[in-house]
Amino acid sequence: MALPAKTAAAHPLGNFTINRYARLELYENVVVIHYVLDFAEIPTFQMAEQIDADGDGALSQAELDAFLPEFADGLAKNIVLTVDGIPQALDMLDRTAGARTGQASLDVLRVAVVLRAQVEGAQESSLRFSDTNYADRPGWREMVVQPSAGSKITVDPRLLVDRSDALRDYSGVATSGAPTDSSVAFTWAPASGTAVPAVFKAEHGAERTGNGGLGRLLNNDRSLGIILLSLLAGVGFGALHELGPGHGKSVVAAYLVGSRGTPRHALALGLTVTATHTAAVYALGFFTIAASDLLAPEEAFVYLGVGSGLLIVVMGASLFLARLRSLRAHSHDDDGLHRHGLFGKRHSHMPGSAP
């Protein structure tokens, strides 16, 4: 089954996230689960090693179709629906996968499955749904309960609202308000509601597979010239990016004024800021390509942040000690007398004074 044809929306929690969505549709004696995974650019790049069989840097629909069955079965094993504490059998009704173009012309992967559980009983029962897929990865985690007409249900009202249109539209939701649900519980009378529809599809619309973009270039051309050109372009784009608001330019300017810096000092400091700012991006890129099996990119960000903080502390301490040494080496008093060194003899260089 094909995925909708459109460019993927930006992921509000970052391009290293794996976003999850589950919608539980309640019909007479049936629960239908629509489950969606939306991989942002970096996780998709990592997944491409498993999907891109011909190594051309593009995720064709044939490659996605070959990858999907085993992957979807693995997802289903980590999805659990219990009724009064009893796990329910889940049947796979449909599954789809597609790649669309995300930021920087990189692909984003979207996988959707539809599961069905037969639930008998006339009395109200306690239902619990849990999803442990990619539990250790950051991302949007949304769960929705959608009862059919006439369903007898007691549920948190917030779960009745689909906030992202099944991870198609993240707009209008602040990052701080992103859902974080990995489980949901409610009561429901299985015999209530309307009859279940005959057919369910995971997605609707025409397929448009991503063209690979930058990812295709990275996969196909890794010559030294291309690598050096890419690194140089990264420095240039980093410098342009730092011309925008933020990045501590006011603090840097205050430092230059306070230290009576020259244009040469300003140039050196600007180049240093550019290098350190861009180095974190390089580190993440190298890590994504070479060491992603050992540590997730979002975990690498933590270590980069700690390293940046330590670097600032070391630089601050160094400046403080240098200033302290300067004051000790050449301290002045208000009467014009001064001493060289902390314990030097007080003297003056004014005309007529003794040496």
Taking each helix axis from N to C terminus, what angle separates 41-51 and 61-77, rounded to the nearest 10 degrees? 100
With 0.75 as the threshold, say if the pTM is over it: no
Q: Are strands 18-27 and 141-147 parallel, antiparallel or unpaired?
A: parallel
pLDDT of the residue at 245: 65
> Which carries the bigger pLDDT value, residue 289 or residue 227?
227
pLDDT at 190: 92
pLDDT in tens, 25-58: 999 999 999 999 999 998 998 899 899 998 888 8
Verify that 48 and 173 share a domain, yes or no.
yes
The CA-atom distances, in angstroms, between 157 and each of 9, 146, 147, 160, 162 are 27, 11, 12, 5, 11
7 within domain boundaries: no
Residues 189 and 275 in one domain: no
Question: Does residue 166 sit in the same domain as residue 79?
Answer: yes
* pLDDT score at 283: 72
Residues 112 and 138 both lie in one domain: yes
Q: What is the pLDDT of residues 222-247, one digit of tens each?
A: 567 777 777 777 777 766 766 666 66
Domain extent, residue 255, equals 216-332
Residue 287 identity (one-letter amino acid): F
Q: pLDDT per residue over 19-30, tens digit each?
A: 999 999 999 999
191 domain-assigned: yes
pLDDT of residue 55: 85
CA distances from 41 to 4, 108, 144, 176 (A): 18, 5, 25, 21
> What size, in residues, is the chain?
355
What pLDDT sits at residue 148? 94
Domain assignment present for residue 108? The answer is yes
Domain-located, residue 186: yes
Least confident residue range of 154-158, 174-178, 312-316 = 174-178
Please state the rounded mean pLDDT for residues 304-317. 79
Question: What residues are paired with 126 via a beta bridge?
Answer: 187
pLDDT, mean over the chain: 80
Q: What pLDDT does 56 receive?
A: 84
Give the mean model confidence (pLDDT) for residues 134-148.
94
Higher pLDDT, 325 or 274: 325
Model confidence at 350: pLDDT above 90: no
- Among 212, 227, 256, the domain-final residue is 212
Q: Is the pLDDT of residue 10 over 80?
A: no
pLDDT at position 300 is 67
Percentage of residues in the chain with pLDDT exceeding 70? 70
Q: Which of 154, 185, 212 is the last residue of a domain?
A: 212
pLDDT for 4 equals 43
Q: Are residues 55 and 184 in the same domain?
A: yes
Please tell me whether residues 106 and 65 are part of one structural domain. Answer: yes
Q: Are residues 202 and 184 in the same domain?
A: yes
Inside any domain, residue 2: no
Provide, rounded to the nearest whole percent, the portion of the chain with pLDDT above 90: 40
Q: Which pLDDT value is given to residue 219?
A: 52
Helix (H) or strand (E) holding 47: helix 41-51
- What is the reported pLDDT for 176? 67
On the question of pLDDT at 340 being above 60, the answer is no
Does 203 lie in the same domain as 168? Answer: yes
Last residue of a domain, one of 179, 212, 245: 212
pLDDT band, very low/low/confident/very high, at 1 (cuts 50, 70, 90):
very low
71 in the same domain as 101:
yes
Residue 6 banded pLDDT, cuts 50, 70, 90: very low
Per the structure, the count of domains in the chain is 2
pLDDT at 66: 96
CA distances 251 to 255, 267, 271, 306, 341, Å, are: 6, 15, 16, 21, 31
Q: Say if 346 falls within a structural domain.
A: no
What average pLDDT does this structure show over 132-155? 94
Residue-wise pLDDT for 191-220, tens only, equals 999 999 887 777 754 344 455 455 555 555
Q: Would you say residue 351 lies in a domain? A: no
Looking at the structure, tell me whether residues 40 and 97 fall in a common domain.
Answer: yes
- Average pLDDT, stretch 135-147? 94
SS3 139: coil
Residue 308 lies in a domain: yes
Same domain for 251 and 116: no
179 and 76 part of one domain:
yes
Nearest-angstrom CA–CA distance, 145 and 154: 11
Task: Calculate mean pLDDT across residues 85-97.
Answer: 96
